[in-house]
Homo-oligomer: A and B are copies of this chain.
Amino acid sequence: MPVTRKAVARRAAVSEATVSYVVNNGPRPVAPETRARVLQAIEELGYHPSDVARSLRKQRTSTIGLIVPDTANPFYGEIARIIENVGYANGYTVILCNSNLDAEREASYVNLLRTRRVEGAVIIPTTAESVAALRAAEICTIVLEYEIEGAYCLVADDYEGGRLVTRYLLDLGHRRIACITRAGDKTSSQKRVEGYRDVLRAAGVALETDLILETEPEIAAGEAAAFRLLEHAEPPTAIFAHNDTMAIGVMSALRKRGLRVPEDVSVVGFDDIVQAAYVNPSLTTVAHPKQRMGEQAAYLLIDLLRGQHVPLPYTAVLDVSLIERESSGPPPAAARHRKA
């Protein structure tokens, strides 16, 4: 059992309130010598005030929930670190919740956050219902990577990202551009595909639905999807993956099939995770403003928790940019020939 405030009060021969005033440096002054006595008693007894009791009393937990699919994925791991960092700097503790892309588990975590009385939450949702549930629980929530009506949303400019990549690949001369997207009704993924489609259409390139694959946002799934694409009668000369993790899987598949990147097939990812610059070949990708997104999310949340009013609807669309590295180049001569 930890030492309680009562013990400190007795030892310092003061009232319990005085102990509080010393511990909290207020809200009312304490005579220097009384304070010294109290501090000494605290020291001697090893007193550490209970945040549990404090939370109950103040009706504030200084806690936020963080729901992400899976911290083992470097992208989410980075987001987690950023949110935790800003939280830490502002006195908020973070409860970690991995949804594992499982709606049921996510729902259960929303419930937990409610009973824990967290003050706010940051979520990369698996399903929009979780956001609704969070709202129903009156938990101030920031949604990342997903646009949802009536919620504070921060997204990368996914549509523009999709356009950038596609136009870039078209300019290089590619015509058969595959797209591996994320399964589920995630709007971030949909937007990227939309950008891709619109640019192709505008360029008069026929859309081939076989070249659009949907799968989990993981490295093995990326590899598997690439294998499937290569079985196509006329395989793509470029592959645009939903994220860098999948793109790395794609490059692995190409290598296993004896294809060179970018000479035979170009690969472009999304997110610019730390690893993207170091893999071989280094990965052309869309720079995702995760740092800014994470920080802005955390700051916005903290502002809201401090009572600042931020009107809804709120959707911040953060700029993206193409980072050209080694994994992309012109299509092989044969393909260029065919096109002409």
Contacts and interface: CB of A to CB of B under 8 A. Distances in A.
Contact of A219 (B115, B223, B274): B274
A109 B115 CA distance: 23
A93 B93 contact: no
A72 interface: yes
A95 B65 CA distance: 9
A117 B50 contact: yes
Interface of A: 1-2, 46, 48-53, 55-56, 59, 61, 66, 70-74, 76-78, 80-81, 84-85, 88, 93-98, 100, 105, 109, 111-112, 114-117, 136-138, 219, 223, 248-249, 251-252, 255, 274-275, 277-282
10 contacts: A2-B117, A50-B115, A52-B117, A66-B96, A80-B96, A88-B98, A95-B96, A248-B279, A252-B278, A280-B281
Contact of A98 (B61, B76, B81): B81
Nearest to A222: B278
Contact of A96 (B96, B117, B219): B96
Nearest to A111: B48
Contacts of A251: 278, 280
A280 B278 contact: no
